[in-house]
Amino acid sequence: MSQLSTTSAVKSTSIPARLPWLALLALAMTGFICICTETIPAGLLPYISQGLNITNGMAGQLVTSYAIGSIVAAIPFAMFTGGVRRRPLLLVIITGFFIFNTITALSSSYALTLIARFFAGVAAGAAWGMIAGYARRMVPDALRGRALAVAMVGTPIALTFGVPIGTLLGDLIGWRGVFGLMSLLTLVLIVWVLWKVPDYPGQPAGQRMTVGQVFVLPGIRPILMVVLFWMLAHNILYTYIAPFLEPSGLGERVDLVLLVFGLAALVSIWIVGLLIDRKLRILVLLSLLGFALVSVALWAGATTASVVYASVALWGLTFGGAATLLQTALADASGEEGVDIVMPINTTVWNLAIAGGGIAGGILLELVGVQAFPGVLVILLLLALIIAWSAKSYGFPRKQ
């Protein structure tokens, strides 16, 4: 038996044949804190602006500062920490959330709060860069997609309930109390990680791949292009969902519409978790096709409330498992040597798409109006669908 096969045999016997639920859910909680820390200010802007004596527009830059931190830090952090043991690194990242959310809760200075938000974004970029690889190392090959689905479940939960609950808590305990509560959650998570999350060594310097080496691997660039077009389309609609709902008379029911979206997204996570290890390609193609059909339906019936509700439900079904599907495809294409580098690249592209969706949607809104959204979405999604369909050998291979 060769050294490689011996190593593989040892590895397979040391990894449980079932999902380590509590360990994976700790990673999901990390993702939940990342998303909540990023999005909660959106529902607290009036309180924050009053508390810091700034305008709502200036308060909105707290979200921008966080996103910039994630974009700037994700790839360099992964490159410089690739050899560090995984659990201590995860604990440092979570501790970063505790420190910077606490500063945000206590700060009376707008400049200091902006800085704290930037470094909270740095922590998020670092976290997103390692969650997927961490989850996949906990399980045998046959369960990797399912493990990633569990580790990512905190994302749709946070997107669905984070802002509404944060806004409600803001009414009850104030915006500073909300950020203080986020700090308390990180303390709970630190104990949880120490209790249940296993540790793994980092990669030796000789085994780590560079960004350039990972980027040119077969399949990586098509997947990243799908990430860019898919998330651009999603964020154009998601960011400006309130004005988009006005023609249908649902402008005052944004909370209910997003609840429908979020519940459907949770169903999607469950379906993807069951099928991803066998049907990744089909799930990606169906998700893109479904979202394209949603866009066509909204193009034709955006003024009809029933059409909007049905479309939003299907939109949630197509989006809930997107992060899991795309990260699994990237992890498969990059292999064990490249997974800890490809995930930060994905984080960077994902955040660029979020920013791009906000900018493109804003321009469309000002120049043309919300009626232009569905047509643009159809174009972006068809491009993503063509790229995914064409990546038959690598990226989204037919064997899936």
Query: Could you write out the DSSP letters of every residue in 117-162?
Result: HHHHHHHHHHHHHHHHHHHHHTS-GGGHHHHHHHHTTHHHHHHHHH
The topology (CATH level 3) of 19-207 is Growth Hormone; Chain: A; (1.20.1250)
Q: What is the mean pLDDT of residues 172-191?
A: 95
**Cβ-based burial of 76 (10 A; exposed 0-12, middle 13-18, buried ≥19):** middle
Residue 122 has pLDDT above 90, yes or no: yes
Question: Does the CA dihedral 96-198-127-86 come out positive or negative?
Answer: positive
Q: How far is CA 291 from the centre of its chain?
A: 18
pLDDT one-digit tens code per residue, 246-288: 888 887 777 788 888 888 988 998 898 889 888 999 999 999 9
pLDDT(228) > 90: yes
Residue 205, pLDDT score: 67
- Outline which parts of the chain fall under CATH 1.20.1250.20: 19-207, 211-390
Q: What is the C-alpha separation between 275 and 15, in angstroms, rounded?
A: 21
Cα 226 to chain center, whole Å? 15
Share of the chain above pLDDT 90, in %: 45
Task: Supply 184's token pair.
Answer: 């308390």
What is the arithmetic mean of pLDDT over 190-200? 96
Examine the pLDDT at 12 and tell me if it is beyond 60: no
What pLDDT, on a 0 to 100 scale, did the predictor assign at position 9?
A: 39
Q: Nearest Cα to 164, choosing from 281, 42, 71, 268? A: 42
What are the b/e assignments for 106-143, b being 16+ CB within 10 Å? ebeebeebbbbbbbbbbbbbbbbbbbbbbbbbbbeeeb
pLDDT tens-digit series, residues 46-84: 888 899 998 877 887 888 889 889 888 888 988 888 889
Q: How far apart are CA 173 and CA 229, in angstroms?
A: 39
Distance of CA 5 to the CA centre of its chain: 35
Q: Is 64 exposed, middle or buried (0-12, 13-18, 19+ CB in 10 A)?
A: middle
- Topology of domain 211-390 in CATH is Growth Hormone; Chain: A; (1.20.1250)
CA distance 211 to 227: 17
Contact indicator for 257, 308 with CB cutoff of 8 Å: yes
Work out the average pLDDT over 286-308: 93
pLDDT-derived band at 362 (thresholds 50, 70, 90) equals confident
The mean per-residue pLDDT over the stretch 23-36 comes to: 94
pTM: 0.81
Closest CA to 199 of 87, 92, 119: 87
Q: Please list the helix, strand and coil fractions of the chain in percent, rounded to the nearest 5, in that order.
A: 85, 0, 15
12-26, 87-101, 231-245, 348-362: least confidently modelled range? 12-26
Q: What is the pLDDT of residue 2?
A: 40
Q: Is the pLDDT of residue 17 over 80?
A: no
Mean pLDDT of 306-334: 91
Percent of the chain with pLDDT over 70: 94
pLDDT at 315 over 90: yes
Q: Which alpha helices (H) appear in 197-253, and where do they start and end? A: 211-215, 220-239, 241-245
